A = this chain, B = another copy of it.
Amino acid sequence: METTKGVLIVCDGLGDLPVGGKTPLQRARKPNLDRLAEEGACGLLHAIGVGITPGSDTSHLALLGYDPETYYRGRGPFEALGMGVRLEHGDIAFRCNFATVDERWNVVDRRAGRIKEGGGELGKALDGMEIDGVKVVFVPSVEHRAALVLRGEGLSPKVSDTDPHGPGKVQESKPLDASPEARRTADVLNKFTRMAYERLRAHPLNVKRAKNNLPQANIVLARGAGMFERVPSLKERFGITSACVAGGALYKGVASYVGMELIDVPGATGRTDSNLRAKAVAALAALSTHDFVFLHVKGTDSASHDGDLKEKVAMIERIDKMVGMLMREARDAHIAITSDHSTPVSLRDHSWHPTPIALWGPRVRRDGVKRFDELACGQGALGHLRGLEVLPLLLAHMGRTKMYGS
């Protein structure tokens, strides 16, 4: 069988509940998504399983064919990879914020006023420390965001966050199991936090910010400890080359973890203002040089977390145009479109409700579904899929799988 190209479009937090009788997907004008559903086969997707509310990290692992039960070791490494950090096998990575604390380490601003200069200068003051034989790699990203990596022997990801995740004091990291590795890691992280405080509060940038009455970025809050371990890539497992077009660090990070090439798209912000046309152009370019492209759109989720129905509908209509462009230009490819989880605007949070999925392309057995929404897709011939079934199904249509048996 000849191979075809494949595209997996993930619209983050797309699935929803009705508000005033209709879900955002049912409200949006989306001729291309509906045509994709009508010409294709539809279903509902449980990224992890029935009644399980997926996190963004675990659900993306599953959608890309990696069982989170085996491959999930915490979010930190994905964030770090997505920020471009080169991780080594065994590294413990954290997702960090520059934040503002008072003298008693009460958190005054969890994002240090979303520090506009970014943490570039400040990061340099923290990168390259050595604590009890552990090397510290500290890499700032946009605004207050950064990644912290502890590299050395005898470390463990089983440690609690220093981030209080809300009002309160900076937390002391604690070991989450009885191993000496967890104790040592928590200890190193606590030492790092104190050393970072000392260096940051004296930093010229913070002195200047104080003068200008801006919140000082005088501490680092760490969360989401995870251990990085090398895993077999998509190329190794399925023989396909692959590329990722995404704005958010997490999605890039998961993609990088499974061996995808990250395509940098100016204007892909991972927010509702993202340039979806630029992303479609980048995805199409990537498709000409790769077998498989993963295209992530974050805005639907952001709007949902904000409880903003209007913005979610608008975002879906923007996605519709992007999908129309892909359908026109990637006519021989197989395209799957779905979401990592529902994020109902009425709940403002991820939920367990399954999310619609549609598969389109020359070898798809069309069903009778005519609209891409939660209700219509429930009647589709794909039935209820699990996240881990999505990539195998797409690869089968792409002619990339082998017979099981003979």
Contact = CB atoms under 8 A, between A and B. Distances in A.
Interface of A: 1, 17-18, 44, 48-59, 68, 72, 75, 224, 347, 349-354, 363, 365-368, 374-375, 378-381, 383-386, 389, 392-397, 401-406
A52 B347 contact: no
A223 to B, nearest CB: 9
Contacts of A378: 367, 380-381, 383
A401 B352 contact: yes
A389 B50 contact: yes
B50 A385 contact: yes
A297 B252 CA distance: 50
Given A51-B392, A389-B49, A56 B365 contact: no
A56 B403 CA distance: 10
A405 B68 contact: yes
A396 B54 contact: no
Task: Determine how many copies of this chain the complex contains.
Answer: 2
A96 to B, nearest CB: 15
Contact of A349 (B1, B59, B367, B389): B1
Given A58-B405, A405-B75, A396 B53 contact: yes
A404 B51 CA distance: 11
Contacts of A375: 367-368, 381
B51 A395 contact: yes
Given A48-B404, A50-B393, A52-B396, 10 more contacts: A49-B389, A50-B385, A50-B392, A51-B392, A53-B402, A54-B404, A55-B403, A75-B405, A351-B363, A368-B375
Contacts of A352: 393, 396-397, 401
Given A1-B347, A347-B1, A55 B384 contact: no
Q: Would you list the 7 A-B pairs with minimal beta carbon distance, nearest first?
A: A55-B405, A58-B405, A51-B392, A51-B393, A378-B381, A352-B396, A383-B384
A374 B379 contact: no
